[in-house]
Amino acid sequence: MRLVLSLLLPALIACSASAAFGQQAPHKTPQKVISSERSHTVLVLGDSLSAAHNLAESQGWVALMQKRLAEKNAGATHKWQIVNASISGETTSGGLSRLPELLTVVQPGWVLLELGANDGLRGLPLALIRANLQKLIDQSKQSGARVVLLGIMLPPNYGPAYAEPFAAMYQQLAEKNTLPLVPFLLKDVATNPKLMQQDGLHPTAEGEPIVLDNVWAVVKPLWLPSSK
C-alpha cells in the first residue's frame, strides 16, 4: 500500500521559531511509516534552515521539493516521499541521538544531511563537528541509504580562522565518502538581504525557491535523470 507522507510528520518532529538557527524543539517518538518503494523515500535531517523557520511549512524548500517531485514524476509507478525530520536548533549531536530511530522507522533510500550550522554558531571544535557528521554519514550508509551532504557556511563575523575550515569540511567529507554535495545551501540567498529574514540567518519565503534550486541541481540527476 502506498502512503504519500505529509512533509512534516508531527510525530517525528516539532519545529519552533527562535534566535540563531533555532532553539531546540522537543523530540517525539516517530510513528511507523509505510513506503511502497524505499528507493523513493527521502529523509531530510536538518535544522531550522530545512524547517521553514518563521514561515508556513508549505513555503520551505523541503515542501517545495515534494511539490516539484510530484510534478516532474506525475504518472510514474512509484511516488517520491519526503520525510522532513528537521528541527529548529538541531546540532550534529542531536542528530546522532535521533537518527537510529528515524532510519528504522522511515527506512529511507536517501538521506539529505543538513547539519552543523548550530554547532558552528556555538564555536564548537571543528574536529567534533566533523566526527559527528562522519558518524551520521556512516549510520545512514550502514542502513542502506545513500547520502547527499548539504554544505553550510558561517556568517563572516565568525572570522576566517574558523569559518573557512568549517566550510571546507563539507567538501572534504564529501570527497572522503564519495557523496553528492550541495556546496552551499544558501548560495545566492545569504548575500542578498532582500532574501533573508531580519535575523540575517534564515531565508524569506522569496529565498526558499532559490534554496530548492541549489539542492535540485544536485539531486535531480540522481533521482530523475531523464526528466527535463
Is 33 a domain residue? no
Rounded distance between C-alpha atoms, residue 43 and residue 113, angstroms: 8
User: Over the stretch 174-204, which tens digit does the pLDDT of each residue have?
Assistant: 999 999 999 999 999 999 999 999 999 999 9
Tally of domains in the chain: 1
> What pLDDT sits at residue 99?
99
User: Over the stretch 86-100, which tens digit does the pLDDT of each residue have?
Assistant: 999 999 999 999 999
- Inter-helix orientation angle 61-72/208-223, to 10°: 40
pLDDT range class, residue 23, cuts 50, 70, 90: low
Rounded distance between C-alpha atoms, residue 3 and residue 5, angstroms: 6
User: Over the stretch 121-172, which tens digit does the pLDDT of each residue have?
Assistant: 999 999 999 999 999 999 999 999 999 999 999 998 899 999 999 999 999 9
Range of the domain at 74: 38-223
Is 95 a domain residue? yes
Asked if pLDDT for residue 3 goes beyond 70, the answer is no
Is 14 a domain residue? no
User: Over the stretch 51-62, which tens digit does the pLDDT of each residue have?
Assistant: 999 999 999 999
Nearest one of 223, 212, 227, 226 to 40, comparing CA atoms: 223
Is 1 a domain residue? no
3-state secondary structure of 12: coil
* CATH code where residue 132 lies: 3.40.50.1110
Asked if pLDDT for residue 44 goes beyond 60, the answer is yes
> What pLDDT sits at residue 24?
52
Asked if pLDDT for residue 40 goes beyond 80, the answer is yes
> CA 164: distance to chain centroid?
21
pLDDT averaged over every residue in the chain = 88
Question: Alpha-carbon torsion 185, 190, 196, 197, what sign?
Answer: positive
Secondary structure letter of residue 51 according to DSSP: T
Is 21 a domain residue? no
Annotated catalytic residues are 48, 199, 202
Q: What is the pTM of this model?
A: 0.86
Better-predicted residue by pLDDT, 131 or 38: 131
Is 178 a domain residue? yes
Is 81 a domain residue? yes
